[in-house]
Structure 1
Amino acid sequence: MFAVIKTGGRQYRVVPNDVLEIGKIAGDVGTIVQLGEVLVLGGDTPVLGTPTVAGASVAAEVLQHKRGAKVIAFKKRRRKNSRRKRGYRDELTVLRITEILADNAKPTVGPRPKKEKVAAPADGEDAAPKAAKKKAPAKAPAAKKAPAKKAAAKA
């Protein structure tokens, strides 16, 4: 089953477990948000919305909030000594689609638990010993050269 959703002025075709970047939306990292503007519900019998499908929504987990790549708008008028430089970075939200819901259903899948880091064993048996860091020897001061005698060089 797939759905076409609209958010931030753009349309996305999504299926469960898709990861996509959209314009920033409200929601803390790890929470489930519902996107309500579903234009098409696909499957065996597709349902087209007029303009949206009534009672349909898409549940998604917020993975991350981040900023997009830099976009620089540079304008120059030649021979006029006129330059304008302007730039910005989009605010983005990374989502993982968890469910496609119909008939005013509520999301059943909660946020996924975060993976825990595997701790190294406390015993020194399995762990390889780490080599101690050695400091580089201090550099000796450079010896100053004695000034050469110009008279001896001419003779």
Structure 2
Amino acid sequence: MRLRIALVAAVAATLGGAGMATAAPPATTSIDYVNDTRVVPAGAPFCDFPIVRVRDGRLWTRTYTAADGTVTRVQRWVSAYTYSLSNPANGKILLAHLGGTYTEWHDSDGTVRIIVNGNDVQFTMPGVGRVTGQTGRYVETWTPDGGVEVTATHNADYQMSDVCAALS
């Protein structure tokens, strides 16, 4: 959750506020991830051991702009997208197949609303089943004064402590 908040804050700060009128058809781009690997270091807010994160699949982004070129809405979704976390010391792995949509609405006053619908992440482990994850609907509102309000939550909460316990 902290990673998502930091990412959203960075995107919101970069894109800024925007009017609601769209000037042109939206631009759609994609990024392919093939064995995209990152080592998450040991320590808070993560586990007491390093975690290897690997993702594979395609991330799509559709960006809508106003007549003046400012961003009004950004939609993201994935196809054939997997996300895994593993403990290199013992080989234990959690795997998620992602789906659903992520939409940012950029209001003219600088407010950014984020709505995540669907399977955001569901981590499973061979022989165990579901360990932790998020699914359903999540709504977050960032105001120009730096305030953040969560007005809806996922049906199941992702817990880093569950990830650490499963991988230890």
| TM-score, normalised by the number of residues in structure 1 | 0.28
Q: Which has the higher contact order (CA 8 A, sep 6+)?
A: 1
The structure richer in strand per residue is: 2
